[in-house]
Structure 1
Amino acid sequence: MKRLVLATATAVSALSATSAFAEPLKIGIIESLSGAQTSTGRLYANAVKYGVDRINAAGGFNGEPVVVTEYDNAGGAPEAADKFRKAVADGVDVIFQGASSAIAGQLTEDVRKHNIRNPGKEVIFINLGADAMELTGAKCQFYHFRYTATAPMRVNALVSAMKEAGDLGKNVYSINQNYSWGQDMQAAVAAAAEGGGYKVVGEVLHDVNKIQDFAPFVARIRAASADTVFTGNWSNDLLLLMKAAGDAGLDVTFATAFLDQPGNIANAGKTALGHYIANNYDNAATDGKFAEAFKTATGHYPIFVEGHSAFALGALQQALGTVNFNGGEIDVTKIALALENTTYETPLGPISVRKEDHQTIRPVVVSKVVEKPKYPADDTDMGFQTVKVIAGDAAIYPVQESCKMERPKQ
């Protein structure tokens, strides 16, 4: 049995008298909590803690409060590997991570190898934001669950909504960062061309967060007579690209994946108006009840990755409600089996897990930037207005042939 963890008197009093002898479920957040991705990593951690607080308020699990420990990977895969080893030594049952597909690729392989070597002491990896296709393709494995949309899901949603709104155009330019995520976006834009009725008039893959002047790229976009620019860029690569387009007076519509990253709207200013984003969640697409509950608990409305990450914890809570270890040793495999059989109802629609690759089948929200929205962004008078919510069964794509998932023996 793993070592016991002391809980506060309040938490203990809410649980059964036998909780002192029970084994707690331990969650580890292996996230970028220092370095360039700190702001995003902290949002993932906020959402996990929000979800765990709800589980504990409802009585915890297995007779104990769920225990959460943060591990700072400092934005690097080697550091994440080190922190995974520390988490395993601490007896963590479930790890959460979202900022960076490179880190997720390291963690999913670490989890796979650990679980092979330690039958009966498995660890689950719940991926909140790493979108690289290979994670549910060549690297798919039973103990990895992805609770975020991928490039094809986002691109297909954008194409559907923008075409319906008359904002797609006939000429599309694709510009993305040159790593797995950007390459996936470029491939998805090309794959959607026939169905979207557009021509890809240019493609660029560039270095990640190293370009200081996007004016030459904007000149190429102008020369290609593009109507729409699809980009999976994030951070400065998105902001500087949009600013360069605005400074050049380039009349195009941006179709993005991360325009709602904190600071982007404030920094882009009026340049952001009219541009699109496809994402897992948008406050404006809901009845507002979840947004208000989140604000009551945390002091702010859910932003960027917090909403959909909180839903992943809701799915976990629902799954935990279907297994009972009677206070004894926790069987992680049984929790994983319960999770892949869970359909969680969110304010946007149901989220389920596809058993063949553990990609979530989930709604995708397409929004555009407007003035005077219901939920302003970055303390400005601008924010997102929902254009269309694509249901999960319409957003999903076939299982990749490269996924050869081995299931545990039962």
Structure 2
Amino acid sequence: MRRLAMITATAAAALGATALHAEPLKIGIIESLSGAQTSTGRLYANAVKYGVDRINEAGGFNGEPVIVTEYDNAGGAPDAADKFRNAVADGVHVIFQGASSAIAGQLTEDVRKHNLRNPGKEVMFINLGGEAMELTGEKCQFYHFRYTTTAPMRVNALVSAMKEAGDLGEKVYSINQNYSWGQDMQAAVAAAAQTGGYTVVDEVLHDVNKIQDFAPFVARIRAAAPDTVFTGNWSNDLLLLMKAVGDAGLDVTFATAFLDQPGNIANAGKTALGHYIANNYDNAATDGQFAETYKTATGHYPIFVEGHSAFALGALQQALGTVNFGGGDIGVTKIALALENTTYDSPLGPISVRKEDHQTIRPVVVSKVIENPKYPADDTKMGFATVKVIAGDQAIYPVQDSCKMERPKA
């Protein structure tokens, strides 16, 4: 009898130890936290931490608080590959990254190879900002989820809204960065010409984040005399382009993807008035409740990439609520399957993920720069007013033929 009691006590102690040492969910932010893309990378990290705080305030996951670790990729794909190896060594389950499609391309391939070599110890990649089409095309894979738009989604939204507003014109200029994302933008602008009723009078692809003076490009734009300039530029390339436009006093409407990046409105000055952006999120397009909640938590309203990135964490939190590992080992595949079946009700409308390629189906907001907005930008008296919100089912495009996703075996 005494021996039975000892065995029972030992078993109970073991169960107690298991409960005390449940596996925590580990999230890694592999982001550009130094170098030219620091300002953008830091905003992605802010939003991820905001979302994780919401998960932990609600009780965490698997009996433990979610752990977040930052890894600085210094704005380069080779550094991102190194940091991915560090994250795997640290036991990270889910990685987040947003600044740069080139880095996203490196990470999704690293994740794919790791998961092939380590069945049962998979890692998931939630892509917040890498918008190159190939990421849900020839590079699509089950453990990559993209929670942002792509070039066709942004360009088609801009063309639709600007044409309705009578601001598109008949002559369009295209200037973009010379890599996968910029090439996608250039292709999308050309593809929308017939629908938009315009002619592309000139198009330019330039080096990424290496040009210090965009004055020659602005002179070329002026010579082409377009009605609208489309650009997918971001980071320093957009900041410096806006500065050159402002310095030259160029009177032309810009149709952009990232005009809400901090500094752009201030750099362009009054020249920015009337410029357009198609984006994942705009405070002015909502009832303001999320904006105020975010400000209370972080000290500022969500800007640039923070809003939609926080919604990705909201979707993850919702998915985690449907998965129970009982404090035991975490299975990333089960989390990925749950995320596939999650529809998150954002302030702009429902956000889901298409199972065939893991491209987000989400609303796209088209906004215009005005004076005296509800949410001023860059400590100026200018900011964004919502022109049109395109619902997710209207903004999305068919699955690319090049996506041949292999799903995990049941």
Taking structure 2 as the reference length, the TM-score comes to: 0.94
Q: What residue in structure 2 maps to residue 29 of structure 1?
A: 29
Once the two structures are overlaid, the 10-residue window that deviates more, 226-235 or 139-148, is 226-235
Once the two structures are superposed, residues 347-380 of structure 1 have per-residue CA deviations (whole angstroms, 9 ceiling, x without a partner) of 0000010111100001111111111110011111
Matched ranges for 1:1-400 at <5 A = 19-400=19-400
Contact in 1 for aligned 2:50/2:310 (Cα 8 Å):
yes
Structure 1 or 2, whichever has the larger Rg, is: 2
| Counterpart residue identity of residue 236, structure 2 | N
Contact in 2 for aligned 1:55/1:61 (Cα 8 Å):
yes
Query: Aligned pair in 2 of structure 1 residues 86, 29: CA closer, same or farther (>3 Å)?
Result: same
Contact in 1 for aligned 2:242/2:264 (Cα 8 Å):
no
Distance 1:54 1:239 in 2: 32
Distance 1:236 1:97 in 2: 19
| Counterpart residue identity of residue 372, structure 1 | N
| Alpha-carbon distance, 1:18 to partner | 7.4
| Counterpart residue identity of residue 370, structure 1 | I
CA RMSD of aligned residues (A): 1.5
Identical-pair percentage: 90
| Alpha-carbon distance, 1:246 to partner | 4.1
| Alpha-carbon distance, 1:19 to partner | 4.8
| Counterpart residue identity of residue 299, structure 1 | G
Distance 1:169 1:370 in 2: 19
| Alpha-carbon distance, 1:261 to partner | 0.7
Contact in 1 for aligned 2:23/2:330 (Cα 8 Å):
yes
| Counterpart residue identity of residue 21, structure 2 | F
Query: Aligned pair in 2 of structure 1 residues 169, 17: CA closer, same or farther (>3 Å)?
Result: farther
| Alpha-carbon distance, 1:239 to partner | 3.3
Query: Aligned pair in 2 of structure 1 residues 92, 212: CA closer, same or farther (>3 Å)?
Result: closer
| Counterpart residue identity of residue 216, structure 1 | P
Distance 1:252 1:228 in 2: 6
Distance 2:276 2:325 in 1: 46
Distance 1:177 1:227 in 2: 21
Distance 1:250 1:192 in 2: 25
Contact in 2 for aligned 1:25/1:93 (Cα 8 Å):
yes
| Alpha-carbon distance, 1:249 to partner | 4.2
Query: Aligned pair in 2 of structure 1 residues 90, 243: CA closer, same or farther (>3 Å)?
Result: closer
Once the two structures are superposed, residues 295-326 of structure 1 have per-residue CA deviations (whole angstroms, 9 ceiling, x without a partner) of 11111100111000000000000001111111
| Counterpart residue identity of residue 152, structure 2 | P
| Alpha-carbon distance, 1:235 to partner | 2.9
Distance 1:296 1:380 in 2: 22
Query: Aligned pair in 2 of structure 1 residues 86, 240: CA closer, same or farther (>3 Å)?
Result: closer
Distance 1:358 1:327 in 2: 28
Which sections of structure 1, spanning at least 5 residues, go unmatched? 1-15
Once the two structures are overlaid, the 10-residue window that deviates more, 326-335 or 18-27, is 18-27
Once the two structures are overlaid, the 10-residue window that deviates more, 58-67 or 209-218, is 209-218
| Alpha-carbon distance, 1:223 to partner | 3.1
Distance 1:71 1:244 in 2: 34
Distance 2:311 2:75 in 1: 24
Query: Aligned pair in 2 of structure 1 residues 19, 301: CA closer, same or farther (>3 Å)?
Result: farther
Distance 1:249 1:375 in 2: 25
Distance 1:368 1:23 in 2: 47
| Alpha-carbon distance, 1:113 to partner | 0.3
| Counterpart residue identity of residue 342, structure 1 | T
Query: Aligned pair in 2 of structure 1 residues 377, 17: CA closer, same or farther (>3 Å)?
Result: farther
SS of residue in 2 equivalent to 1:28:
strand
| Counterpart residue identity of residue 122, structure 1 | E
Distance 1:138 1:147 in 2: 18
| Counterpart residue identity of residue 384, structure 2 | F
| Counterpart residue identity of residue 134, structure 1 | E
| Alpha-carbon distance, 1:244 to partner | 3.4
Once the two structures are superposed, residues 243-278 of structure 1 have per-residue CA deviations (whole angstroms, 9 ceiling, x without a partner) of 434444433100011111111112221111110111
SS of residue in 2 equivalent to 1:79:
helix
Contact in 2 for aligned 1:18/1:63 (Cα 8 Å):
no
Contact in 2 for aligned 1:185/1:231 (Cα 8 Å):
yes
| Counterpart residue identity of residue 254, structure 2 | F
Contact in 2 for aligned 1:147/1:360 (Cα 8 Å):
yes
Taking structure 1 as the reference length, the TM-score comes to: 0.94
| Counterpart residue identity of residue 158, structure 2 | L
Contact in 2 for aligned 1:243/1:271 (Cα 8 Å):
no
Q: What residue in structure 2 maps to residue 407 of structure 1?
A: 407
| Alpha-carbon distance, 1:33 to partner | 1.2
SS of residue in 1 equivalent to 2:195:
helix
Query: Aligned pair in 2 of structure 1 residues 24, 371: CA closer, same or farther (>3 Å)?
Result: same
SS of residue in 2 equivalent to 1:140:
coil
Distance 2:94 2:248 in 1: 48
| Counterpart residue identity of residue 138, structure 2 | A
Contact in 2 for aligned 1:183/1:205 (Cα 8 Å):
yes
